[in-house]
Structure 1
Amino acid sequence: MNQPGTVQLGRKGFWAISLTLFMIAYSVSVMPAIMPAIVSDFNSSIGYIQSILVLFSLVTASFAPTTENLCRFYGRTPVFLLGLMLYGIGIALTALSPAMGMLAVSFSLLTGVAATPLISTPWAIADLAFDGKAEEQANVALIVASSLGGLSGALLGGYLASQFSWRWAFAPALVVLVVVGLLHRSLPRLVTRYQQPIDWVGGLLSFWGLGFILIGISLSAEFGWWQPKRLFTIAGVVIPPFALSIVPTLIAVGIILLGFFIFWQRRQADRRMASLLRAGLLRKRGFVLGLLTAMLHTLITTGLQFNLFQFVPVALSLNPFQTALTIIPYNITMIIVVIVILKCLMLGDRIPPKYIVHTGIVLIAIGIGLLYRSLQTQITSLDLMPGLIVMGIGSGLFLSYISKLTYSAATADEKPEGSGIYNPVQNLGSSLGRAILGTALISFASRNIVDGLLEKMGRTLPPVQRNQIIAQLQEMIQTLSRQELEATLSSQLPPSIAPLIRPIGLEAALVGMRTSLLIALLCTGICLMLAATLPKYPAQAFCKLPERASYE
């Protein structure tokens, strides 16, 4: 990585941007690992933790266009340093949070906003500092750094939560932040030579549009996709005021706001006024299809890992650290594959990268199939390992080439703008993965527990009453520990049925997990079809980036 690009970046500078991505990935991946401890400490629910993670990704994705606007106005490096300070404050407040509300604000809002420039700047610096093979090596190295952060968050965070407290699980992120702060002087000073007004209207429209959609999806398990499972009220006012769940209402409002956002962007562009994004890349079919392909991969892998962190403790009776050890083969395998490709870049010369991406998607589908087959009543950690390893190999192959193939539809000058679109869309994929697959797991598990208990008691209920009981059980599953849930159900059921709660609950969890795997497999099929539109090789335009007048 010694070929100069348009800026100079030394070893310390590369360590700084790598550790930044490591820190972000650690902080996000630690949350699923410590969910049980937080739920127990705050007497809260898994649903709230899921919503916090969804909101974090939402804030990061929605604030990204505004961040790029701020970078063009004030310079990327100053915005990065501001984000670093705000991130430290957010993580510290998260670890010290006295209640769930404070944790949500500090982690989802403060760190979500701060993470936006911390995610985009490392990739922008790598684009400007390296050319050709050196750029490919730098990009793969940044993927490895992010993957190692995710691995450390699940493993180290789970261990700290099990041995000490979930609050200590955030300490490593603060340590890494201090190291990045010490190394920040080695970063190139990227200062803009022109100032462009900030499009605050576009920023608000994009944020609220995406926000309403994702919040609606995350609430679907609790309120229902169409038929209302329970009423949604604000200050005693029922919303909506008719027999419809709040979920489609929120999604519809979000789509309308995104429509206004697109209209506003076109209006600003036609008048040559400040706009959040120049939508040139979004008019290019190849870039959009590649973007959606990468987003679906993020949706699948993030959602399944999130579900495994909920399923494994119930099915295998493991603590957070043991759960992380069970799931970790996926991350380790993915990192090994990416590192091997980093050392053997000629692979992309011998085999068209498009086919490597296709192979990765097929292996992910095979891994999902192996996970599905392994879901039996007497499941063990070893049973899950083959599927996780095959999925890890597939993700490693996929991630090594997908971004370069996506950018093949863009010109070299459009690549910085592309990064401002590509990264937040992946965060959007993370939100959708947790919301859709996580909702499927809880919903189907709750339904099958209720139906199983009713069958054993030889009873039937009217659909309305049955749905109400399912909704109540969903809330209990996300709030109570397994022991507390079993004790609560035992007190409300006939003595002859109580001993059956454990096997019925395990079978219901298996059904919920299988259903989420089938949804993930469907998404994998769509991902493969979209990947068929990718070019065989990355565009040669990105082997050498031209000088750009916007930076000095």
Structure 2
Amino acid sequence: MIEPTANHPQLLSRNSPFRIIGLTVWMVSYNLGVLPAIMPAIVRDFDSSIGSIQTVLVLFSLTTAAFAPTTENLCRYFGRTPVFLAGLLLYGIGISLTALSPSIAILAISFAVLTGLAATPLVSTPWTFVDLIYRGKTEEQATVGLIVVSTLGSLMGSLLGGFLASRIGWRWAFVPSLVALIGIWFRRRSLPNLSLYCEQPIDWVGGLLSCLGLGSILSGVSLAMEFGWWEPKRAFSIGGVVLPPFPLSIVPPLIAVGLILLGFFGFWQRRQARKGEASILRAGLLRQPGFVLGMLAAMLHTLIIAGVQFNLFQYVPLALALDPYQTALTIMPLNITKILVVIGSLKLLRLGSNRNGATRFQRLSPKSIVFIGLALLAIGILMLYRSLTLQVSSINLLPGLLVMGIGSGLFSPYVSRLTYSTAENGRVEGTGIYNPAQNLGSSLGKAILGTALIFYASRDIVDGVLQQIGQTVTPANRVRLIATLQEMIQTMSRQEVSAEIVNQVPPSVVPFLRQISQEATTSGLRTSLLLALLLTGLCFLLATTLPKYPSRPAEENA
């Protein structure tokens, strides 16, 4: 099986495929960034909840990650370019239906299922094209370019999407991505024709088992903060049927079912290998510890950045009394700094691949720069933690955001380069798993850190009100009150939650509610930042398994 390569030394020439693949990465990142920004408008329009939109985002990435092995299987059989174009068509249908959705259920199916399936080749193929088409300095420029356009897409989703939603309507926020898709389709002839010649049939059984197994495990992890890891915080029901029908959180059964399905998947893969038939893990990437651990380190980094930003979008409007557009401007320095550092690291990335004749700074190995980036990320989180007071301002948040942006900008290009170098076939096989995992990290960050913020803020509000009225309740009733408030926050607008609390508390407590809620939200964000700091430490441990330098063939760096 051979995938042909081409040489396009001019990255931004008129017929360069980078224009198309870069716009594709921008389009997917834009839509992932736009949904949190327009969340309040969707909740009001559909009389839905913030939790339901969070679920849609998580399901999108679950679908993308779970379908990744099957997508690689399809690419080996039909070719990457045909699968990419099919994904582009399905993506357009999914986004169009999302913008026209008459209900939250249709929106969930359109965005989480249709767009999630279509996004799998769209988030992996551009990086594979870069690996196959470009060489040397141009390849490094293209790699950094994709990181930049991905960050820009997410940033513009927050700013432009939020602006369109507030001025015209949330449905119009998807128009820029549809315009980009049309432009990609009309320039599709610029893409290389990467066709494969493979007579081996597609492993549909392996694909189904991997999708269901990964989807079940990842769904369990994403629901853990909301429903509890073991003891249920609240009941999980489908169509009025409570699952499971005994006092246990839904999380352990989901993870158990996923592990069982993955066990069947492993048995099936061994059977297929013995018979010499179609096998979805032909490349064996998941059996290469260096690649898996590097991918997990990168996913944790994405989880931290996305989760912290998501929580800031919830915190800043309350603490600083800003509208959504002003909130996006307040948080924007993190992404802008990351973009500038990634662009500036291009020269370092090229010099870092040459170990001979380097200056003192150039002798820093890529792995060392990964560690420096993580250290700065941790310092930035601590600075943000210390800046959170009841008198916080945008200026107070700025230093922490800038340092986090510098750390993230140093970490991102180097960790991907080192991780891919541990894969047997580089990006050709690795991107089909690596990039969906990063999208999954983004959604899990919003789910895990976002739910942590809501839970701890709810706990402190309940405790603050009880302290103000001088009452105590049993631990069981306290847990019930916290769970009720947590559900209210996830299912009501901020104004509705405030009105409901005012109706439930004694009149003597009402004048203190704003201070109690602001203190609780600040405390909740500080707790979620400590969790992010803990995850940064875990990311550091995973990064220790990366090689010091990329192990790439010499001719590729010529």
- State the TM-score, normalizing by the size of structure 1: 0.94
CA distance in 2, matches of 1:303, 1:266: 38
- Equivalent residue runs for 1:481-520 within 5 Å: 481-520=493-532
Per-residue deviation, residues 289-319 of structure 1 (Å, max 9, x unmatched): 2122112111111221222222222222222
Q: How many residues get paired?
A: 541
CA distance in 2, matches of 1:542, 1:328: 39
CA offset at residue 6 of structure 1?
Answer: 1.9
Alignment match, 1:7: 6
CA offset at residue 399 of structure 1?
Answer: 1.1
Alignment match, 2:449: 437
1:21 aligned onto 2:34: no
| Cα distance change, pair 37–393 in 1 and its aligned pair in 2 (3 A) | same
Could you tell me whether the CA contact under 8 Å between 1:214 and 1:435 is conserved in 2? Answer: no
1:268 aligned onto 2:268: no
1:387 aligned onto 2:400: yes
| Cα distance change, pair 293–33 in 1 and its aligned pair in 2 (3 A) | same
CA offset at residue 344 of structure 1?
Answer: 4.9
> What letter corresponds to residue 470 of structure 2 in structure 1?
G
Per-residue deviation, residues 364-417 of structure 1 (Å, max 9, x unmatched): 001100110111112122211111111111111111211111123234x35411
Alignment match, 2:61: 57
> What letter corresponds to residue 153 of structure 1 in structure 2?
G
CA distance in 1, matches of 2:91, 2:30: 13
| Cα distance change, pair 49–262 in 1 and its aligned pair in 2 (3 A) | same
Alignment match, 2:80: 76
- Equivalent residue runs for 1:357-368 within 5 Å: 357-368=370-381
CA distance in 1, matches of 2:488, 2:225: 12
CA distance in 2, matches of 1:511, 1:186: 52
Could you tell me whether the CA contact under 8 Å between 1:141 and 1:342 is conserved in 2? Answer: no
> What letter corresponds to residue 305 of structure 2 in structure 1?
T
| Cα distance change, pair 235–428 in 1 and its aligned pair in 2 (3 A) | closer
Alignment match, 1:138: 142
List runs of 5+ in structure 1 lacking aligned partners: 547-552
CA offset at residue 508 of structure 1?
Answer: 1.2
> What letter corresponds to residue 372 of structure 1 in structure 2?
Y
Aligned with residue 452 of structure 1, among 457, 464, 467: 464
Per-residue deviation, residues 425-447 of structure 1 (Å, max 9, x unmatched): 22232233222212211111111
Aligned with residue 102 of structure 1, among 91, 99, 106: 106
CA distance in 1, matches of 2:73, 2:412: 27
| Cα distance change, pair 344–415 in 1 and its aligned pair in 2 (3 A) | closer
Per-residue deviation, residues 47-100 of structure 1 (Å, max 9, x unmatched): 111111101111111111111111111111111111111111111111111111
Alignment match, 1:408: 421
CA distance in 1, matches of 2:107, 2:554: 42
Could you tell me whether the CA contact under 8 Å between 2:456 and 2:524 is conserved in 1? Answer: yes
CA offset at residue 46 of structure 1?
Answer: 1.1
> SS in structure 2 opposite 1:89?
helix
Aligned with residue 545 of structure 2, among 533, 539, 542: 533
Could you tell me whether the CA contact under 8 Å between 1:54 and 1:214 is conserved in 2? Answer: no
Per-residue deviation, residues 319-373 of structure 1 (Å, max 9, x unmatched): 2211211111111111111111225545424121111111100010011001101
CA distance in 1, matches of 2:7, 2:393: 50
CA offset at residue 198 of structure 1?
Answer: 1.5
> What letter corresponds to residue 392 of structure 2 in structure 1?
I
| Cα distance change, pair 236–491 in 1 and its aligned pair in 2 (3 A) | closer
CA offset at residue 194 of structure 1?
Answer: 1.6
CA distance in 2, matches of 1:524, 1:221: 19
CA distance in 2, matches of 1:540, 1:210: 30
Aligned with residue 168 of structure 1, among 168, 172, 193: 172
Residue range with higher mean Cα deviation, 384-393 or 281-290:
281-290
> What letter corresponds to residue 464 of structure 1 in structure 2?
A
> SS in structure 2 opposite 1:533?
coil
Residue range with higher mean Cα deviation, 223-232 or 363-372:
223-232
CA distance in 2, matches of 1:545, 1:281: 23
CA distance in 1, matches of 2:112, 2:545: 35
Could you tell me whether the CA contact under 8 Å between 1:314 and 1:482 is conserved in 2? Answer: no
Aligned with residue 207 of structure 1, among 205, 211, 225: 211
- Equivalent residue runs for 1:184-203 within 5 Å: 184-203=188-207
CA distance in 2, matches of 1:455, 1:445: 15
> What letter corresponds to residue 53 of structure 1 in structure 2?
L
Residue range with higher mean Cα deviation, 308-317 or 46-55:
308-317
Aligned with residue 283 of structure 1, among 287, 291, 310: 287
Aligned with residue 257 of structure 1, among 247, 255, 261: 261
Residue range with higher mean Cα deviation, 467-476 or 175-184:
467-476
Per-residue deviation, residues 94-115 of structure 1 (Å, max 9, x unmatched): 1111111111111111111111
Alignment match, 2:357: none
CA distance in 1, matches of 2:241, 2:497: 32
> How well do the aligned residues superpose, as a CA RMSD in angstroms?
1.9
Per-residue deviation, residues 125-159 of structure 1 (Å, max 9, x unmatched): 11111112221111111111111111111111111
Could you tell me whether the CA contact under 8 Å between 2:349 and 2:366 is conserved in 1? Answer: no
CA offset at residue 205 of structure 1?
Answer: 1.7
| Cα distance change, pair 485–341 in 1 and its aligned pair in 2 (3 A) | same
CA distance in 2, matches of 1:19, 1:232: 40
CA offset at residue 161 of structure 1?
Answer: 1.5
> SS in structure 2 opposite 1:544?
helix
Could you tell me whether the CA contact under 8 Å between 2:313 and 2:328 is conserved in 1? Answer: yes
| Cα distance change, pair 220–286 in 1 and its aligned pair in 2 (3 A) | closer
Per-residue deviation, residues 434-467 of structure 1 (Å, max 9, x unmatched): 2221221111111111111111111122222222
Per-residue deviation, residues 263-293 of structure 1 (Å, max 9, x unmatched): 3223322322212222533333322221221
Could you tell me whether the CA contact under 8 Å between 1:74 and 1:195 is conserved in 2? Answer: no
Per-residue deviation, residues 155-214 of structure 1 (Å, max 9, x unmatched): 111111222211111111011111111111111111111233112222222222222223
Residue range with higher mean Cα deviation, 164-173 or 429-438:
429-438
Aligned with residue 303 of structure 1, among 304, 307, 311: 307
> SS in structure 2 opposite 1:540?
coil
CA distance in 1, matches of 2:30, 2:307: 17
Residue range with higher mean Cα deviation, 429-438 or 327-336:
429-438
> SS in structure 2 opposite 1:265?
helix
Alignment match, 1:341: 345
CA distance in 2, matches of 1:221, 1:537: 38
CA distance in 1, matches of 2:382, 2:117: 37
CA distance in 2, matches of 1:150, 1:542: 35
- Equivalent residue runs for 1:224-263 within 5 Å: 224-263=228-267
- Equivalent residue runs for 1:87-98 within 5 Å: 87-98=91-102
Alignment match, 1:292: 296
CA offset at residue 472 of structure 1?
Answer: 1.4
CA distance in 2, matches of 1:427, 1:52: 13
| Cα distance change, pair 215–445 in 1 and its aligned pair in 2 (3 A) | same
Could you tell me whether the CA contact under 8 Å between 2:69 and 2:281 is conserved in 1? Answer: yes
| Cα distance change, pair 309–260 in 1 and its aligned pair in 2 (3 A) | farther
> SS in structure 2 opposite 1:238?
strand
Aligned with residue 149 of structure 1, among 153, 167, 183: 153
> What letter corresponds to residue 5 of structure 2 in structure 1?
T
CA distance in 2, matches of 1:424, 1:176: 21
Q: Percent identity?
A: 64
